[in-house]
Amino acid sequence: MRRPQPGRGLWVGTAVARPGSQSPGARLCSRDLQACACGHAGEGDGRCRCQPGVVARYAGRISGPLRDRIDLWVHMPRLDPAMYVNSAAPEGSAVVAARIAASRRRQVCRNGRPNSGLSGRALRAACALGPVEQAHAIRLAELEGWSARGIERLLRVARTAADLASCDVVDGSHLDEAERFRSPSCWRAGFQAAS
């Protein structure tokens, strides 16, 4: 288990809590984890040498409440070398950065602050879910067994996904997209299916 990125994050794994390293207003928590002790779990090539119980224990070190507070779960499997070598010119970082900047401008124009700074009420107003989307959000939340905090985070990520797509309203596809980032099931269910 590696140290999280410094800055706006939580420090886990150090014996002593360091208040200075947690910025109180930060809503973005980033963690950097390996899937298991050897790092090969879930790659599907039978290379992971960890005993199943070890993988489960390793994943279980991230407690539920902490999982709940992590906004984005992005899995970074080992890149297939052929995919790296053969793939067409990928999108440049500058292009992506411009898209992100545009999305942030949208957020600030609409609410006076980025989505990460919205209060719960302002966030719900900004999302303005229709009845169909509401039902869908409930279904997703029930499926994953989220807490209220988890649902709020889903909405925040969905609002951002819609902003990245330059959409004024959050629709079902944005919720679905956000669910991929919000779902630690890749982590939780993982050690059952892939161990």
Rule CB under 8 A: choose which of 31, 48, 154, 155 binds another protein. 48
72 binds another protein (CB under 8 A): no
Q: Do 126 and 115 touch, CB atoms closer than 8 A?
A: yes
46 binds another protein (CB under 8 A): yes
- Give whichever of 52 and 114 is closer to another protein, judged by the CB atom: 52
Return d(Cα 99, Cα 81) in angstroms, integer.
28
Return d(Cα 27, Cα 69) in angstroms, integer.
9
83 binds another protein (CB under 8 A): yes
What count of other Cβ atoms lies within 10 Å of the Cβ of residue 164? Answer: 17
Rule CB under 8 A: choose which of 22, 23, 87, 166 binds another protein. 87
Judged by DSSP in three states, 62 sits in coil
62 binds another protein (CB under 8 A): no
Return d(Cα 12, Cα 32) in angstroms, integer.
10
- Give whichever of 15 and 83 is closer to another protein, judged by the CB atom: 83
Instruction: Copy the structure tokens of residue 74.
Output: 């992005």
Sequence letter at residue 60:
G
Residues within the interface to another protein (CB under 8 A)? 35, 41-46, 48-49, 52-53, 56, 75-77, 80, 83, 87, 139-140, 143, 161, 164-165, 172-177, 179-181, 183, 185-187, 189-195
